[in-house]
């Protein structure tokens, strides 16, 4: 059968995938005067068959059809795949072709008996592009726009595929093409300037290769709705006096948006030094400082902050979170009990109050002022009771309750 006849080629083709390719990483068609390959530079779908011929012109030495042979990407093809058609023409039959090993095309070469090259052809085997999907865009200064996308469900076409990001004003204006590609990854593009505010844009991606083209769905957006920013700079983490269960976090509002009317909300995440699990504080609102409470004494913590600018010039969209800031490290003080939280009524009362704070207002400055006042009052009250007990031991009975 045809399949059986070409099985040696498929086996050789598979072995070539595992080794280091000995062939050039680009394909160049060779068309000397001595021979010609037909078809020249064909483009085929994966799974197709190819019947090619190498025809010798004139009477070059050692170049009769019986002495010719084929190579693909520098490797000699099995002789059973070839057939002499006449004294000057050698045919080659390939079936069930795999995708090209290189996007510039595979090198199919016809050789004379002594190994010299008579003619060459580029063989392009692949798939047409799929519709690009998952387009997302953001702006960092309300003057630019960066977009990225996914090249279809399978992605790989085995052929050089060109992706063009197009955009235009929704109701008028001409199509524009983005020019700064690969800015944040292989499938991305950056539009640096000349964008309008307060009017929507239509954005789409076109994919083209030798076997066809595809166009994504159109994404409609307003620049003001997709503004993000760099991570908050100057993140500082420090101790809160001698409190062994707290750290103070402070940062600076992103300077890129300082001249624009907007709101901002922040998130903090933190983890202990030997862990990969982050805890996220969501309710930081628009403050640029926060206390982390309920931490372990004598422990190193890594802290990061990110920003979400929203409501720019009245935009109703949720905003886009920035990247996380670089981790900042700080340690909590060791407790007086050698690393373990102190016990007793003061500690228990403080933990109860702290639990209420964490539940209702994690980063509220007012709440932590109340916490500090509560802690000072409880410590003072506990100290007073201790002093009274030391001055008049007879005021206490064996049960531990004050005498009446």
Residue 113 sits in a domain whose CATH number is 2.60.40.10
Residue with tokens 């006096």: 241
Q: How far apart are CA 29 and CA 110, in angstroms?
A: 11
Whether 321 and 243 map to the same domain: the answer is yes
Report residue 340's pLDDT band, with 50, 70 and 90 as the boundaries.
Answer: very low
Residue 133 in contact with residue 150, Cβ under 8 Å? yes
Q: Region 299-308: what's the mean pLDDT?
A: 94
Whether 7 and 115 map to the same domain: the answer is yes
Highest mean pLDDT among 190-199, 249-258, 343-352, 378-387: 190-199
Domain stop point among 126, 151, 169: 126
Report residue 1's pLDDT band, with 50, 70 and 90 as the boundaries.
Answer: very low
Whether 16 and 114 map to the same domain: the answer is yes
**Is there a domain that residue 179 lies in?**
yes
369 burial type by CB count under 10 A (0-12 exposed, 13-18 middle, 19+ buried) = exposed
Whether 219 and 244 map to the same domain: the answer is no
C-alpha torsion sign, points 338, 343, 346, 348: positive
**Is there a domain that residue 325 lies in?**
yes
Count helices and strands (H / E) in the chain.
Answer: 4, 25
Whether 102 and 188 map to the same domain: the answer is no
Instruction: Look up residue 132 and give its DSSP letter.
Output: P
**Is there a domain that residue 296 lies in?**
yes
Whether 240 and 322 map to the same domain: the answer is yes
58's CB contacts (< 8 A; 6+ apart) are 33, 34
| Residue 392 pLDDT greater than 90, yes or no | no
Domain stop point among 342, 362, 384: 342
**Is there a domain that residue 305 lies in?**
yes
Whether 44 and 143 map to the same domain: the answer is no
* Number of domains making up the chain: 4
Whether 8 and 60 map to the same domain: the answer is yes
Q: Region 290-304: what's the mean pLDDT?
A: 92
**Is there a domain that residue 231 lies in?**
no
| Residue 14 pLDDT greater than 70, yes or no | no
**Pairing mode, if any, of strands 43-45 and 117-126?**
parallel
Q: Region 86-103: what's the mean pLDDT?
A: 92
Q: Region 229-245: what's the mean pLDDT?
A: 90
| Residue 351 pLDDT greater than 70, yes or no | no
| Residue 295 pLDDT greater than 60, yes or no | yes
Q: Which two tokens stand for residue 58?
A: 């004139």
| Residue 344 pLDDT greater than 60, yes or no | no
Residue 99 in contact with residue 76, Cβ under 8 Å? no
Residue 151 in contact with residue 161, Cβ under 8 Å? yes
Whether 327 and 266 map to the same domain: the answer is yes
Highest mean pLDDT among 207-216, 283-292, 395-404: 207-216
Range of the domain at 84: 2-126
Q: Identify which of 48, 28, 210, 46 has the alpha carbon closest to the alpha carbon of residue 121.
A: 28
Domain stop point among 126, 146, 161: 126
Whether 334 and 384 map to the same domain: the answer is no
Whether 91 and 145 map to the same domain: the answer is no
Helix 365-391 / helix 345-360 crossing angle, nearest 10 deg: 170
How far from each other are the two terminal CA atoms of the chain, in whole angstroms?
A: 110
**Is there a domain that residue 204 lies in?**
yes
| Mean pLDDT of all residues belonging to the chain | 80
pLDDT of amino acid 278: 95
C-alpha torsion sign, points 225, 227, 231, 236: negative
**Is there a domain that residue 370 lies in?**
yes
Residue 176 in contact with residue 168, Cβ under 8 Å? yes
**Among 61-65, 129-133, 210-214, 241-245, the least confident range:** 61-65
| Residue 47 pLDDT greater than 60, yes or no | yes
Whether 264 and 305 map to the same domain: the answer is yes
Q: Region 313-319: what's the mean pLDDT?
A: 76
| Residue 355 pLDDT greater than 80, yes or no | no
Q: Which two tokens stand for residue 98?
A: 């795999």
């Amino acid at each position: 059968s045809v399949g059986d006849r070409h099985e040696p080629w498929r086996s050789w083709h598979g072995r070539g995938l595992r080794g280091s390719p000995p062939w050039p990483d680009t394909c160049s068609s060779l068309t000397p005067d001595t021979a010609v390959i037909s078809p020249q530079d064909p483009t085929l779908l994966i799974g197709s068959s190819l019947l090619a011929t190498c025809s010798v012109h004139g009477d070059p030495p050692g170049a009769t059809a019986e002495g010719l042979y084929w190579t693909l990407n520098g490797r000699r093809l099995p002789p059973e795949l070839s057939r002499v058609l006449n004294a000057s023409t050698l045919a080659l039959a390939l079936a069930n072709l795999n995708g090209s090993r290189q996007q510039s095309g595979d090198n199919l070469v016809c050789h004379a008996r002594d190994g010299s090259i008579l003619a060459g052809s580029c063989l392009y085997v692949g798939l047409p592009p799929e519709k690009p999907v998952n387009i997302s865009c953001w702006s960092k200064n309300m003057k630019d726009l960066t977009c990225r996308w996914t090249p279809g469900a399978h992605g790989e076409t085995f052929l050089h595929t060109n992706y063009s990001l197009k955009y235009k004003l929704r109701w008028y204006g001409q199509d524009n093409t983005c020019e700064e590609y690969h800015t944040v990854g292989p499938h991305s593009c950056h539009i640096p300037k000349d964008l309008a505010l307060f009017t929507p844009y239509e954005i789409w991606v076109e994919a083209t290769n030798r076997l066809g083209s595809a166009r994504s769905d159109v994404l409609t957006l307003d620049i003001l709705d997709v503004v993000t920013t760099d991570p908050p700079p100057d993140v500082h983490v420090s101790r809160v006096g001698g409190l062994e269960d707290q750290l103070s976090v402070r940062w600076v509002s992103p300077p890129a948006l300082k001249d624009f009317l907007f709101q901002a909300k922040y998130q903090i995440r933190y983890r202990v030094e030997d862990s990969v699990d982050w805890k996220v504080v969501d309710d930081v609102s628009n403050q640029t400082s926060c206390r982390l409470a309920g931490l372990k004494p004598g422990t190193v913590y890594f802290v990061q902050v990110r920003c979400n600018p929203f409501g720019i010039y009245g935009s109703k969209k949720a905003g886009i979170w920035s990247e996380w800031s670089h981790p900042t490290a700080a340690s909590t003080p060791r407790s007086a009990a050698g690393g373990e939280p102190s016990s007793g009524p003061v500690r228990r009362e403080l933990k109860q109050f702290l639990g209420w704070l964490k539940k209702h207002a994690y980063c509220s400055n007012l709440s932590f002022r109340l916490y500090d006042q509560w802690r000072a009052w409880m410590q003072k009250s506990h100290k007073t009771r201790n002093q009274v007990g030391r001055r008049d031991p007879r005021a206490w009975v064996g049960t531990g309750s004050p005498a009446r």
